[in-house]
Amino acid sequence: EIVMTQSPAILSASPGDRVTLSCRASQSVSSSLAWYQQKPGQAPRLLIYGASTRATGIPARFSGSGSGTEFTLTISSLQSEDYAVYYCQQYIEGPKTFGQGTKVEIK
């Protein structure tokens, strides 16, 4: 089973900040990496798939990069509605494992 590790666990940032979240896979997942956003009391929402392709309706301030084992999700200018938990997920093989999440909170 591929283990996904996200860092940091909690990220404190102010509106307007540029923030970068990291996700590492225990073995190569090529570009088979997705990012999800989850707000309190809501279901996860797909943000990014294929490591860098934004899902339908996702604002351009969200961008993904990386391949192999190292990935990043960048929010170019943090908005109030972006405070949430972000999960990465690999889908190259076997169980579609998730990272443990990064919580983006207000500084």
Partner 1 sequence: EVQLVESGGGLVQPGGSLRLSCAASGFTFAGYWMRWVRQAPGKGLEWVLRINNDGSSTAYADSVKGRFTISRDNAKNTLYLQMNSLRVEDTAVYYCAREFNGYFDSWGQGTLVTVSS
**How many Å apart are CA 26 and CA 107, to the nearest integer?**
31
Which of 11, 21, 34, 75: binder of partner 1 (CB under 8 A)? 34
Amino acid found at 107? K
Stretch that binds partner 1, among 11-19, 34-42, 57-65, 72-80 (CB under 8 A): 34-42
| Site membership for partner 1, residue 57 (CB under 8 A) | no
Q: Which of 14, 16, 43, 81 binds partner 1 (CB under 8 A)?
A: 43
Distance (Å) of CA 59 to CA 8, 10, 94: 23, 22, 31
Note whether 103 binds partner 1 by CB under 8 A.
Answer: no
Q: How many Cβ atoms from other residues are within 10 Å of residue 15's Cβ?
A: 12
Q: Cβ(16)–Cβ(78) under 8 Å?
A: yes
Question: Rule CB under 8 A: is residue 32 a binding residue for partner 1?
Answer: yes
Q: What residue ranges bind partner 1 (CB under 8 A)?
A: 32, 34, 36, 42-46, 49, 55, 87, 89, 91-92, 95-101
